[in-house]
Structure 1
Amino acid sequence: MSTTPGRRLATAVALAASAALLLAGCAGGAGASQGGGDGDDRIQVSFMQPPKAALNPFSDDAFKLSRWSTAETLVRLTPDLEIEPLLATEYEQVDDLTWVFTLREGVTFHDGTPFDAAAVQNTLDQATSYSPPPRALNGVALTTEATGDMEITVTTDVPDPLLPNRLASPQLSILSAAAYQDGGVISPIGTGTGPFELVDVNGSTTATLDRYDDYWGEPAAAAGIDASFVPDGTARAASLRSGEADAAETIPVSQISLLDPEQVFEVQQSRSTYLALNSESGPFADPAVRAAARAAIDPSTIVDTIYEGHADPSVGLIPPAIPWAEDLRGDVASATDPAAEGVAITLATYTDRAELPEIAVQLEQQLEAAGFDVTQDVREYVNMEAEMLDGGFDAVIMSRNVLLDTGDPLSYLAQDFTCDGGYNIAQLCDPGVDEIVAAGLQLPVGPERQQATMDAEAAILQLDAVVPLVHDRVAQGEAGTWTNIERDPFERRLITELTAPAE
C-alpha cells in the first residue's frame, strides 16, 4: 500500500465502502433470510484437534476462536487475499512507519464492557510483550497509542507493508481487559466480540458457545455451537453418519466413500505437503544428491494411492488456493544434474496428520528404487520439532499452511527458506534466495509482491532444497442439516452468524 495521499484516501474510501457492504450483507444476507437471531437450534460440530494451549489466542488455538466466530480482529482476509474491515471500519498509512485505524462504533465485548481504542491498545500491547509473541508479529515490533476514543495509531520499528495482514491474523483478535490474567493466562471465555460467546471449555473434550444477542452485526441464526474435539478421523466421520454431528472437520480419505457424496465438500487448501531436504549437512548438502532425490519422486503416485485422487500433485510450493499463483509461476525445474548411489538417509515425519506416515512409506519405496538406503523416523510432532529445527534429519515430510500467520505467501517463504528463517527445516541459506525475498518483503501487497513471491519460489525449487509433493484438499463433512457453513481454504472461518438450519 503506497504512502502517497491519493492512495491513502483510496484505501480509506474503499474500506469504508466495504464496511457498508459488510453491514448491508449482515442486515439482508442469508442469516436474515433464515430468521437470524430468532432460532433455538444449536449446531453440533466435530473438530479435528483439541486445544493445545488452553485456547490462548497468541497460539494456534486462535484459529479455533476464529472458526467459532467468537473472537474478531480489526480487519480480516478475504478469499482474494485482500483486507476488509471488521472491528476497524477504515485505516490509512500516514508515513512509512505509522498507521491509523478508525474503530467501529457500537461494539461491546461479551462481558458487557465497551470496545474502544483503549481495549485495542491493551490487546496489541499484551501481544507484543508476550513471550513468545504471536507468530503474526515475527519480524516487526509495534508501539500503539489511543489517539482518540475510537482511533488507534500503530507504529512499526521498520517499514512494514504487511501490517494490515498481521492485524488480520486470528492471533491478534481483540479481547476485553478481563481476558488477560496474572501469570500470562489469557482466557477467551466471555471476552470476545463475535456473534457467538464462548461460555465453557471442558478440557480437550468439548466447548460450548451461545449466541451473543448484542452482537454489533446481525445476531447469529444459530442459538449456539456445541463443539466436540474428535482427533480420530474415523470417529469424526461416524459422528456425521450417525447424526451426532451437523458438520465435521477434515474427513480422512479412507472415510470419504463411506459418506453420502452430498455430505462431502472438498476444498482446496492454502496448505502444501513437501519433502524438505537438509541442505546444510549430511548427504543432501550435495546439490547432486538433492537433485537425485527429487528426480526419484513421483507425486502423482502419492495422490493416486494415498489420497485416492482427493488431492493435487504439486509442481510448486504455493498451492492453487492462492488465486494468482499458477499464472505467475516461473521455471521451477532443478538446476543440477542428479547423481547418487547407495546413499543412506533418515526420512522423518510426524503422526499428527494421518497421511504423512503413509507418504513416508511411499517415498521410501521410490527413493530406494533410485539407490537410496532409507531409514524412517516417525513420531508425534511435539517429540521431534526441536530436532527438525536443528537439522537432525536428512529429510522431513512437512505439511504447511502457507497463509497461516499473515495471509502472505512470501512471508511463509521467508520463514521457511531463508538464512534467518525461524522455521527453516531445509536449513537453506542461499544469498540469491535471500536477496529476492528481502526485496519482495519491502513491496506493498499487490502484483509486484505476488511476482516476487513466485520468483522466490522458483529460486528455492531450482536448488532442490525441497521437493513439492501434494497440494492438499480438505474434505469437510456436512450432514445437510445446516446451510452457510463456510468452506474456507484459509482455515480461518467455519461457523458464522449466517450459518442457519436448513429449511
Structure 2
Amino acid sequence: MSLLHRAAGLGLAALLAAAPPALAQQKTLRVAMTAADVPTTTGMPNNGFEGMRFLGYPVFEGLVLWDLSRADRPATLRPGLAESWEQDPADPKTWIFRLRGGVAFHDGTPFDADAVIWNLDRFFKPDSPQFEPAGAGTTRARNPILASYRKIDDRTVAISTNRVASYYPYMATYILMTSPRSFEAAGRDWGKVAALPAAGTGPFRLAKFTPRISAELARNEAYWDKTRIPKLDRVLLLPMPEANTRLAALRSGQVDWIEVPPPDAIPSLKAAGFNIVTNSYPHVWPWFFQTKGDTPFADLRTRQGLNYCVDREGLVQLLNGTAEPSLGWLKSSDPNFGKPEQRYGFDPAKGKALLAAAGWTAQKPLRFKVMISTSGSGQMLPLPMNEFLQQNLKEACGVDVSFEVTEWNTLLTAARSTPGAPVLNGSVSLNPSSPSSDPSVAARYFLQAFVPPNGFNWGQWNDPVFEEAFAALENARDEATFNAAYAKAHERLVDNPPWLYIVHDLNPRAMSRRVKGFVSAQSWFQDLVTVDLQ
C-alpha cells in the first residue's frame, strides 16, 4: 500500500473512531465516492452527477424528480415539488407547474411559488442579492433554453424557454431548491451557507459538513412524502478518488459501499461475500472531438476511422465485464438508436483506410492530445482505460495519442471552454463521461445553439440533418412522431460522429452484505430511501 493510501486509510479510521457512541449505534451507511472532494453543500453540488447523486437529490429537490424505483427499465420522471406540469396550450414555449402544498424546507420555511422564484433568481438573475455564480454556472449549463419565469399564484409558476422543447421537464430536474432562510441566516454569504448547512426539502437533511473530509446526512422525519421516510438514520459520504483506497476501506470494514470497485478485485470481493451490483444504464464513456479550427477532427473520415480503430471488446475485458461496447450515443439496444449506415466495430483495416483518405499515413501519422481526469463522476477507471486506448490506437492504426491529465472539476471547466482556450493546453479531445438519458441531454451536447458558453457542444459540431430532426422532436406532440425524430437524429450522431464512442458503463458498485434494499436504477442517480442496514 502506498503512502497516499495509508494516509487516506488512517484519516478515515480516525474519522470513524471519533464518531460519537450514539452515531455508532445508529444505522449509518458509509459511502466511498470517486470524487476527490466533498461536493459543495449550498444546494447545487459540484463534482458532476456524482455530486447530484449523493448531495443533490437526497437533500435538495426540484419541481420534477426521477423515478428510481425500478431496475428493469431506464428511469422515467415523476412529480416532485410540482404535483403536475403541462405546456401552455396557447404558447408551447411555456410550461405551467402546479406546486405541491404542505411542503416545508428542513429549516421550517414553507415551500411555495415565492421560494421557486427566489431560487430561479439565484441561478438566472445576476443582479439578484442571492445570485450564486458557482451554482448558476452549473444550473444554466443544464438549462440552456430557460428564457423567463413568473409567479402565477402561490401554488403556480410558469417557466418559458427560448425554443419549443417537448423534453423540458427533463431539464427541470436539474434546478434544485434551497431555503431562502439559509441565505439570510448566513448573512447573505453563500460561503457561510455551505457550513450552516443549507436546507432543502429532501428525505435527508445535511447534518454535518467537514470540508475535504466528509458530509453527513440525517433522516428527515418530517419529509412531505410519508411513504418515503428513509430506513437509514444517517449516511456518511467520504471522497476517495483512488480505486484501491476505496477497495481497502471496504475490505477492512471502514465503509459499507464503494463506487466503481477495481475490476480485477471483483472476483475476490464476490468470493469474500461482498455484493457486486451492476446494471445497464444510460451512460456513455467517450472522447469528444474538437471539430472546429486547426484540428484533425474537422474531417469526417478521421472521426469515422478512429471509431473503427477502437478495440471495445478488449477494453470490456480489461474492465472485467463492467462495461459494454458503445456504437453510438445511445446503446445499440435502445429503440431510438435508429438504422445508421455505420456500424462501428474493431476493424483496423477499415479504420486505417479512412484515416489514409483523410491524409494520415505511416509517413504522416495522426497525432493529438486528449484531456483526461484522474477520477470523477462516472469516469470509471480513466487512467488504465486511457492507457489501453493509447496502446490500442498505436498498434491497430498507427495513431499517436498523448494525454493532458487533470482533476475532474478542471475537466468540466474545460468542457465549457472555446477552441484553443488556455485550460486545454493544446488538447483537441476531451474525455468526460456523459449521461444519455433523454433528449434534453442530447440538446445540450449536440445542437449548434449550445456551443460554449451556452451548453456542452464543446466540439462545435454542426449537422443540418440532425438539427432538422431534432426540431421535429422538439415540436412533437405525440410519442410516435417524437420517437421517429429521435431515431433519425441519433442516426446522424453515428454516421457523422462528434465523439469517439468507446463504452457504456454498467454502473458497478460493491457493498457489504449488511446493505439491503438497494435498487440499481437504470440512471446516473440512485435512491437512498429504500436502503437499509442489517
Q: Select which of 354, 357, 360 maps to 2:383.
A: 357
| Residue 458 of structure 2 corresponds to residue 472 of structure 1 | no
| Residue 284 of structure 2 corresponds to residue 264 of structure 1 | no
- Name the aligned partner's letter for residue 471 of structure 2: A
Q: Does the C-alpha gap of structure 1 residues 148 and 371 become closer, same or farther in structure 2, counting only changes over 3 Å?
A: closer
Q: Does the C-alpha gap of structure 1 residues 445 and 260 become closer, same or farther in structure 2, counting only changes over 3 Å?
A: farther
The answer to whether the 8 A contact 1:75-1:88 is kept is yes
The answer to whether the 8 A contact 1:125-1:143 is kept is no
Number of residue pairs aligned between Structure 1 and Structure 2: 452
Q: Which moved more, 1:49-58 or 1:449-458?
A: 49-58
Q: Does the C-alpha gap of structure 1 residues 495 and 378 become closer, same or farther in structure 2, counting only changes over 3 Å?
A: same
User: 2:62: which partner in 1?
Assistant: 73
Q: Select which of 95, 120, 129 maps to 1:99.
A: 95
Q: Select which of 288, 293, 297 maps to 2:301.
A: 288
User: 1:4: which partner in 2?
Assistant: none
Q: Which SS does the other structure have where 1:259 is aligned?
A: helix
* Partner deviation per Cα, 1:23-76 (whole Å, 9 max, x = no partner): xxxxxxxxxxxxxxxx94222222221235455516444443235x21122221
Superposition deviation, residue 201 in structure 1: 0.8
| Residue 51 of structure 2 corresponds to residue 51 of structure 1 | no
| Residue 219 of structure 2 corresponds to residue 233 of structure 1 | no
Q: Does the C-alpha gap of structure 1 residues 151 and 418 become closer, same or farther in structure 2, counting only changes over 3 Å?
A: closer
Q: Which SS does the other structure have where 1:348 is aligned?
A: strand
- Name the aligned partner's letter for residue 51 of structure 1: V
Superposition deviation, residue 346 in structure 1: 1.4
- Name the aligned partner's letter for residue 232 of structure 1: E
The 5 A counterparts of 1:182-193 are 182=188, 185=191, 187=194, 189-193=197-201
Q: Select which of 167, 179, 204 maps to 2:172.
A: 167
- Name the aligned partner's letter for residue 202 of structure 2: G
User: 1:14: which partner in 2?
Assistant: none
Query: How far, CA to CA, are the matches of 1:325 and 1:482 in structure 2?
Result: 35
Superposition deviation, residue 427 in structure 1: 3.6
| Residue 440 of structure 2 corresponds to residue 411 of structure 1 | yes
The answer to whether the 8 A contact 2:470-2:486 is kept is yes
Runs of 4+ in 1 over 6 A off after TM superposition: 334-337
Q: Which SS does the other structure have where 1:179 is aligned?
A: helix
Q: Does the C-alpha gap of structure 1 residues 179 and 455 become closer, same or farther in structure 2, counting only changes over 3 Å?
A: farther
User: 1:223: which partner in 2?
Assistant: 233
Superposition deviation, residue 180 in structure 1: 3.5
User: 1:143: which partner in 2?
Assistant: 149
User: 1:127: which partner in 2?
Assistant: 123
Gaps of 5+ in 2: 1-24, 68-72, 126-130, 345-349
| Residue 165 of structure 2 corresponds to residue 153 of structure 1 | no
TM-score by length of 2: 0.76
Matched-pair identity in %: 21
Q: Does the C-alpha gap of structure 1 residues 110 and 359 become closer, same or farther in structure 2, counting only changes over 3 Å?
A: same
Q: Does the C-alpha gap of structure 1 residues 359 and 500 become closer, same or farther in structure 2, counting only changes over 3 Å?
A: closer
Superposition deviation, residue 298 in structure 1: 2.2
Superposition deviation, residue 484 in structure 1: 2.0
- Name the aligned partner's letter for residue 46 of structure 1: A
User: 1:346: which partner in 2?
Assistant: 368
Q: Which SS does the other structure have where 2:121 is aligned?
A: helix
Q: Does the C-alpha gap of structure 1 residues 446 and 66 become closer, same or farther in structure 2, counting only changes over 3 Å?
A: farther
User: 2:322: which partner in 1?
Assistant: 310
* Partner deviation per Cα, 1:191-228 (whole Å, 9 max, x = no partner): 11122110211012111122222112233222221222
Q: Which SS does the other structure have where 1:234 is aligned?
A: helix
The answer to whether the 8 A contact 1:43-1:224 is kept is yes
TM-score by length of 1: 0.80
Q: Does the C-alpha gap of structure 1 residues 332 and 66 become closer, same or farther in structure 2, counting only changes over 3 Å?
A: farther
The RMSD of aligned alpha carbons is: 3.0
Superposition deviation, residue 80 in structure 1: 4.2
